[in-house]
Structure 1
């Protein structure tokens, strides 16, 4: 499917990783998508909360934000890839797994892209003036979750292992689930320092490192659950728990 872009002097695309921008007319329900391996398909709803019709283009990528609908190699079929959504109306996007070979002992992560292309101005074809066309792109995590994984996703944050060596704060994820860290704060006595607030993600059986004050003895961190909710945890360094 060819990428759709309106005629304009300039097209600016903004990626919205966590929330919908107030200027965007199309809103995606949810902040992440869970695809259970046993499901035949998963549906994601997009709503046009604006006052004008919107052209919506959707595709799935494998982790490269520069992939387009033309270059994506993600093992999913998405329908419809392009849709016109009237003001106040909704459009269901159907995601169907293609059956490709993926790991069965841990989750795999992909990304759902939804591009909201607003209509051109009424005088766009007159040639009398230039105009700026702004498109908003939402990019949501899509987790493919195999059957029979040990444990449950909501317990994965409590299993994280936090240690510190000097000013290096390390977190290990022994679970088969991805854990999104919305915030990480290193605590020293009654003070704390923010070491992560951009939404880092710890993949299954992987680790991340941050720079933290050398005297830190606790960590306060906020994770995002399957429903997009924020959950706060606090642990002592060198311990496991939530």
Structure 2
């Protein structure tokens, strides 16, 4: 399965009424760089691409709409037919927030909420499959040449937090053919790796039990979770969970940014490190 195949999470968006404030926070915290997308910034909408430090291609975007300001962060899932998927997912219990719409003649998107209330987008690019493959291969090649993987500050994982693991697995399994496998390296936590069709997991599901709060969020790679978490607090964010360490050495935390949006930080396990 390829990077841009349906069911993969490949993008994230931050909806906000104050783009400069969002840019200031994440530039200071994660070193993000920004560029306004002139083709998509029309009719009171300002769409700003987000790049990880030193990377020439975007991994997400800031969405500002003067007529309908919002504060939200969501992941985006590849679709081969947004209109058809919107109808299909509604029958599975999803709620349509923004109906399927065409953007700049190359993209169709829709924004929905799953049955637990978590917001996500469907994303369909109308460029040719050959061009999409070229883009995906270029991105993977550039990242490999630079650091052998995602650079610090980049989107590299997604996470579903749920108070009803059975319902969450049922919805996403039927919606996108996601597969869930218990992670026995998580130190006894009720954590599941999520396979979106690739050989390796690209996300996770945290079974929070009855006392948690459902969410669906992007996670960003950093080299030092405790120090970046502390910096987030200095910049006005709130720590919701962590920093915590798994037996395999993975360190992570869950943060609420100053605009009220949730995201995760993590550092990869050190090879050979075990508790």
Q: TM bucket by the smaller chain?
A: under 0.3
**Larger gyration radius, structure 1 or structure 2:** 1
Question: TM (normalized to structure 2)?
Answer: 0.26
Higher helix residue share: 2
Question: TM (normalized to structure 1)?
Answer: 0.28
Higher strand residue share: 1
